[in-house]
Homo-oligomer: A and B are copies of this chain.
Amino acid sequence: MLDEERRHLIEEKCGVFGIVGHNEAAHMTYLGLHALQHRGQESAGIVTWSAEGMCVQRRTGLVSEGFTEEVLETLPGPVAIGHVRYSTTGGTGIKNAQPLTFFTKFGRLALAHNGNLTNAVRLRKELESEGSIFGTATDTEVIAHLVARSQCENIVDALVDALRKVTGAYSLLALTEEHLIACRDPNGVRPLVLGRVGESSAIASEPVSFGLMGGVLEREIEPGEMLILKNSDGGRVWRKPFDVVSPTPCIFELVYFARPDNTIFGRDVYETRKEMGRTLAREAPAKADLVIPVPDSGVPAALGYAQESGLPFEMGLVRSHYIGRTFIEPSNSIRHFGVKLKLSPVRSLIEGKRIVVVDDSIVRGTTCRKIIKMLREAGAAEIHFRVSSPPTTHPCFYGIDTPERSQLIAFTHTVEETRRYITADTLAYLSREGLFRSASATIGQMCDACFTGEYPISLESESRST
């Protein structure tokens, strides 16, 4: 799927990074977040702890835009956590930007959260009725309140206490005066990994985060695990404080979200996507002249499809690198460039050809329709649209920002109706079985609720996600 279009459709909402015991902790966090920029482009934040106490900076926009040398200089200290997110629009953006920071009876606390709690609305109402005030609309703040109200004697136990009360998906980093704590929910929906950067321990949403700084992946934080890093000496304590459940990591991370140059949930992302493409080629072959991807996310699956089918692979859609934030459309004559600003067809390849177009998913179908229209204008004889995942029929309540169900074309339309809407000659999706097989998993071992509605964690309330 065209990444920019996606931003307004399905959006991974967060990436987190933390590091302990590094003399340039804020700089490393800057690098770590930069590598996670695909998980959220709207705001970024870094919190450090130095001798002078907690230092906080949050900015709208990309990490490399908001965090100048001048800003990083205000973030001293050897320990840091950071967060990138897709925030809501407008002036309140900064307010909900993470890491969130709080003053509690245990001292100051910063939280960076990737995921979404499913009982946050109920907990929030209970907390408010007991006299708590909320400063943000985030479910992350619920965790802070539960910590603050815990009867435990120290903040680490209080955090355990708090997390036992919440349900949902979270890969969480907490920074206190003495510890950096990383924790992944028992279902392990979102990724979280431990790495080593020189002598320092680092935590990140994806291992690719360690690459820029010359670090290496040590191991995943496993579902239900908590790692407590001591700020003073980097000492590690591992805990498994929760009831054990059968983990259900998010299969959509493998389909689309995670970076392809990466390993996640123990799987190589690029290879998994290629395998989805290969399986798709077997399940839904097409009589065609060539295979083209919707760049960039569709590339590995299209390569797999091409290799399996024996059809030539071509970059039939060229992606522009010069799209700014805003683009002016002429007022009278030409409207709605839509996808044309970002993609452009290679006419010589397309003209008169039967084309297989491979994308990773279809959300609302509108971008898809525009791409096909553009290819037809470039002279395509036939268009066989292939999707390397099943129809997206249900929203995610575990930390991905999907449109309402009524806007999901796979919910409102049959496959045949969708085909007609997007004006493809044929349309096929990867089967659920094919998806899991490609991911080397059996059904039930990963969360595929967006394709099935089978939500592995109870949905007490369908609150707005974090």
Contacts and interface: CB of A to CB of B under 8 A. Distances in A.
Contacts of A250: none
Contacts of A105: 128-129, 131
B213 A334 contact: yes
Contacts of A462: none
Interface in A304-350: 307, 312-315, 318-324, 326-328, 330-334, 337, 340-341, 344-349
A169 B321 CA distance: 28
B148 A144 contact: no
Interface stretch (A54-62, A413-421, A422-430): A54-62
B135 A72 contact: no
Contacts of A171: none
A193 to B, nearest CB: 15
A49 to B, nearest CB: 15
A313 B346 CA distance: 19
Interface in A333-380: 333-334, 337, 340-341, 344-349
A425 to B, nearest CB: 23
Q: Which of A41, A137, A323 has the most CB of B within 10 A?
A: A323
A148 B128 contact: yes
Copies of this chain in its oligomeric complex: 4
Contact of A132 (B90, B131, B331): B131
A333 B212 CA distance: 12
Interface stretch (A177-185, A220-228, A260-268, A446-454): A260-268
A153 to B, nearest CB: 13
Q: Which of A41, A133, A134, A341 has the most CB of B within 10 A?
A: A133
Interface size class of A (residues with CB under 8 A): 35 or more
B104 A260 contact: no
A45 to B, nearest CB: 10
A289 interface: no
Nearest to A106: B128
B299 A315 contact: yes
Nearest to A313: B313
A24 to B, nearest CB: 5
Q: Which of A100, A307, A334 has the most CB of B within 10 A?
A: A334
Contacts of A213: 330, 333-334
Contacts of A326: 64, 68
A27 interface: yes
B348 A271 contact: yes
Given A56-B92, A91-B71, A65 B300 contact: no
Q: Which of A37, A109, A331, A347 has the most CB of B within 10 A?
A: A347
B312 A307 contact: yes
Contact of A74 (B38, B62, B91, B100): B91
A31 interface: yes
Interface in A223-278: 259-261, 263, 268, 270-271
Contacts of A59: 91
Contacts of A131: 105, 132, 145, 148-150
Contacts of A385: none
A116 interface: no
Given A133-B145, A198-B333, 17 more contacts: A27-B331, A28-B330, A34-B327, A38-B321, A65-B324, A71-B91, A102-B134, A131-B132, A131-B149, A132-B132, A135-B136, A211-B340, A211-B344, A212-B337, A212-B340, A270-B348, A307-B312
Interface of A: 3, 22-24, 27-28, 30-31, 34, 37-38, 41, 56-59, 62-65, 67-69, 71-72, 74, 90-92, 94-95, 100-105, 109, 124, 128-129, 131-137, 144-145, 147-150, 198, 208, 211-214, 259-261, 263, 268, 270-271, 296, 299-300, 303, 307, 312-315, 318-324, 326-328, 330-334, 337, 340-341, 344-349
16 contacts: A57-B91, A59-B91, A64-B327, A68-B326, A100-B135, A104-B128, A104-B133, A105-B128, A131-B148, A132-B148, A212-B340, A213-B334, A261-B346, A263-B348, A271-B348, A303-B314
